[in-house]
Amino acid sequence: MLNKWSVYLLGSLILFVSGIFFFFVGCLYLIWDYVVFMDWEILSLNSCVVTMTLLFDWMSLIFVGCVFIISSMVIYYSESYMGSDLDSVRFYFLVILFVLSMMMMIISPNLMSILIGWDGLGLVSYCLVIYFQNYKSYSAGMLTILTNRVGDVAILLSIAWMLNYGSWHYIYYMGMWDFWEFYLVSLIILAGFTSSAQIPFSSWLPAAMAAPTPVSSLVHSSTLVTAGVYLLIRFSDMIQNLNCSFVLTLSMMTMFMAGLGANFEFDLKKIIALSTLSQLGLMMSVLFIGYPVLAFFHLLTHAFFKALLFLCAGLMIHCMSDSQDIRHMGMVVNHLPFTCTCFCISNMSLCGMPFMSGFYSKDIILEMMMISGYNFFVFMIFFMSIGLTVSYTFRVIYYTLFYHVNVYSCQGYLEDQIMMKSMIVLSVLAISAGSMLSWMVFSVPFLVVLPFYLKLMPLIFILMGGWLGYEFSMSNLGGPLLSQRFYLFSFYSGSMWFMPYFSTIMIYSNFLYLSKGYSEVMDGGWGEYLVSNSFLFLSSLISKLVNYYQFNNVSIFMLVFVLIVIFSLV
């Protein structure tokens, strides 16, 4: 009989091997410019055909390969992380289901089969968010699944709308445009916005941090939140026909809001979640500007370093007796040197440090944005968001690795072999994946001719952001932090512009007052007497009369006798 834990090792090995296989096949398809379109007929009845369609092109295969490689490392890491959990086998199968749902979504050129993968992602993510069963997890899971249901409804409506075309294979209709397609694309953009947590649906993403850390790593790197971006990349040929200025503004505001909020947050997992939100805003923005391949390129590079970032954070939280507050984490670098090295590698890649994997995608995104002819507002929001990314990253590094005032004593620091092995693979990818993918995805090198000061602008904002992050986290002994001096501003920025309140209590509180009024008037008021109690009142009245008659009351007998006599005489 197999050991209970070996199921993790087996699953991660199978996923890793198949991920590398898919990745190399995707690279070959990219070089050959080759596409395989598989149509499997399940049922044919008269002229009605039910088919299962799979699309294998370079984009879907490389993405499936990356998802499988990342999830294999996350599952391998989970063997140690979830080792003491009683339901660890259930957790394993939930993660496998999650990965398979994402694969289903990636390789589908058909809205019907996309819905299967999309719904699978929503339902399994709910099961994983409420895995640690407490009230916070239940609330977060409910917010997650209800927000994603909006996207499900949008896809269902777009399936109904595609009845106008004759097929649900959206890939056939990419080259055409008519007035019908505006509604279809609007629904698809709505679905993408809910899954990728853009404004006004942003509040579920930090709430989903209630899930175990390996799940957060998987969700925030390559599965649930990237499904929306990937769907819009697939529909990008249709989206180019629209005026995208409104949705571009929303995604840029998401990028800016998340970067600003992360500078005032003290929960380590929430900071990384807001960082994911910021990067999703960047992907969406560059997609709406008109560069879907660049958005896909950043999607892949981001997946590697964000998965690594979460795995490192998970080990640090594990060693801190499950405290996620960065104010408890001073001088971790002395106790967990390897983990902190990987943490810094992933953070530098996130910042866009030259020659790390994040640099290759971010730098070219900024340069293409500069030559795309958008206005100064777009220009400034992009660069300020890059600066804010570096700012919160340096703040986290300062608090967790070097800040010696808040060192949390009496902790059991242990770097696990299993966790370290999974981090090594992702560290290599976080360093080298950007350059490797940029050589492959762009067959011809991009030559962006800009003035010298514009070429240096990204690096200038990176340095300014690092300085700002240091200023945010510095405090004289006994003195307040910079953010505490501007408390109203920091509270407003740190609470995601009050979006969680709008998503939760603002929606249902007024409806609860309304329903309370209805309840008092109808259920506890007139409705109670006229509707609910009327049958009871009538039947009890009749039974009282019958009862009164049955007790041989002489006066009733005499009255009945007199009545009978009168009726007979009449």
Does a structural domain hold residue 444? no
Q: What is the dihedral of CA 257, 262, 266, 272, to 10 degrees?
A: 120
Does a structural domain hold residue 431? no
Does a structural domain hold residue 544? yes
Q: Which of 242, 257, 292 is the last residue of a domain?
A: 242
Residues 185 and 163 in one domain: yes
Non-local CB neighbours of 95 within 8 Å, separated by 6+ positions: 71, 74, 75, 78, 128, 214, 215, 218
The reported pLDDT for the residue numbered 286 is 93
Closest CA to 401 of 453, 485, 339: 339
Residues pairing with 53 in the sheet:
39
Which structural domain, as residue segments, surrounds residue 505? 479-519
Residues 484 and 565 in one domain: no
Q: Which amino acid is at 482?
A: L
Residues 104 and 48 in one domain: yes
Does a structural domain hold residue 106? yes
DSSP annotation of 330 reads T
Tell me how many domains the chain contains.
3
The reported pLDDT for the residue numbered 1 is 39
Alpha-carbon gap, residue 58 to 267, rounded angstroms: 38
Residues 563 and 495 in one domain: no
The reported pLDDT for the residue numbered 410 is 63
DSSP 142-190: HHHHHHHHHHHHHHHHHHHHGGGTT-SBGGGGTT---TTHHHHHHHHHH
The reported pLDDT for the residue numbered 233 is 93
Non-local CB neighbours of 445 within 8 Å, separated by 6+ positions: none
Structure tokens at 367: 């340069």
pTM of the shown model? 0.86
Alpha-carbon gap, residue 451 to 455, rounded angstroms: 6
Residues 34 and 99 in one domain: yes
Residues 123 and 145 in one domain: yes
Non-local CB neighbours of 460 within 8 Å, separated by 6+ positions: none
DSSP annotation of 326 reads G
Greatest CA separation found in the chain?
A: 122
Residues 204 and 160 in one domain: yes
Does a structural domain hold residue 445? no
Does a structural domain hold residue 117? yes
Residues 512 and 529 in one domain: no
The reported pLDDT for the residue numbered 139 is 86
Burial of 410 (0-12, 13-18, 19+ CB in 10 A): exposed
The reported pLDDT for the residue numbered 202 is 87
Does a structural domain hold residue 466? no
Are the C-beta atoms of residues 430 and 356 closer than 8 Å to each other? yes
Closest CA to 232 of 122, 353, 151, 121: 151
The reported pLDDT for the residue numbered 440 is 87
Does a structural domain hold residue 403? no
Q: Which amino acid is at 378?
A: V
Tell which phi-psi region holds residue 398, choosing left (phi > 0), alpha (psi between -120 and 50) or beta: alpha
The DSSP element (H or E) to which 51 belongs, if any, is: strand 48-56
SS3 44: strand
Structure tokens at 321: 């007796």
**Under-70 pLDDT residues of the chain:** 1-5, 404-410, 475-480, 482-483, 506-511, 552
Angle in degrees, 0-180, between the axes of helices 213-221 and 224-234, rounded to the nearest 10? 10
The reported pLDDT for the residue numbered 405 is 66
Q: Which of 242, 266, 287 is the last residue of a domain?
A: 242
